[in-house]
Amino acid sequence: MNKFVQALSHLLPTGWAFPRHPKSVVMRWLKAFAGVLEEHHDFTSQTIRQWMPHRTCSRIEEWEDALGLPDPCFGENQDIEQRRTTMLARFRGGVTLAYDDSSADSIGAIQRYLRLHGYEIEAWYNTPFRVGRNRVGEKLGTLNGVLHIRVLHICSPFRTGANRAGQRLVNCSKNSEAVECLLKRIVPARFAIHVIYF
């Protein structure tokens, strides 16, 4: 029995005027009214789910307007999953520091920032060799102000509904403009950015 019909039938008073037989007029009216209540409940639940940013499909444009998206780093031609990833990254904020007195241009902060946007990277910059900090066998680097970013992968898995039969199970792209654009927002001006793809 439908939960709405069951709840409404328990609210009816007892007696001959309110029969519980399934084919009686009262019970048929009760089932119809329970159907209206169930439809309203389902519509309300769906509306609430669509207002949740990580679940939305029909309200994604409204979320993007509120957050100042689409992001110029990614361009206009994005599928729904890329748009949702960018939107959730904007919600989570910018750089997450490793500890309170950490720097926004630290390697760990840069890696976490790009991971929010779906990029797995290795990052390093050249520093002069210092006794006590560096070990024997390490390169004697010079401080040349270049931040090196090696992009390990920019891949998106096959998604039912977004991809079609015959497409690859993992689609990888080599778009360096998006990575460089994101890095220019957080990396200090003293660094030149060098992006490497393999």
Give the long-range contacts of residues 53-59, CB within 8 A, separation 24 or more. 53/84, 53/87, 53/88, 53/91, 54/84, 54/88, 56/84
Q: Comparing 29 with 163, which gets the higher pLDDT?
A: 29
Burial bucket for residue 29 (CB in 10 Å: 0-12, 13-18, 19+): exposed
90: number of Cβ within 10 Å: 19
| pTM > 0.85 | no
Torsion-angle region of 192 (φ positive above 0: left; ψ -120 to 50: alpha; else: beta):
beta
Give, rounded to a whole angstrom, the gap between the first and last alpha carbons of the chain: 60
Res. 102 pLDDT band, cuts 50 70 90? low
Nearest to 152 by CA among 106, 126, 114: 114
3-state SS, 132-185, equals CCECCCCCCCCCCCEEEEEEEECEEECCECCECCCCCCEEECCCHHHHHHHHHH
Q: What is the mean pLDDT of the chain?
A: 76
| Whole-number pLDDT of residue 169 | 54
pLDDT tens-place string over residues 111-168: 888 877 777 778 877 666 777 777 777 766 555 567 777 777 555 555 556 566 655 5
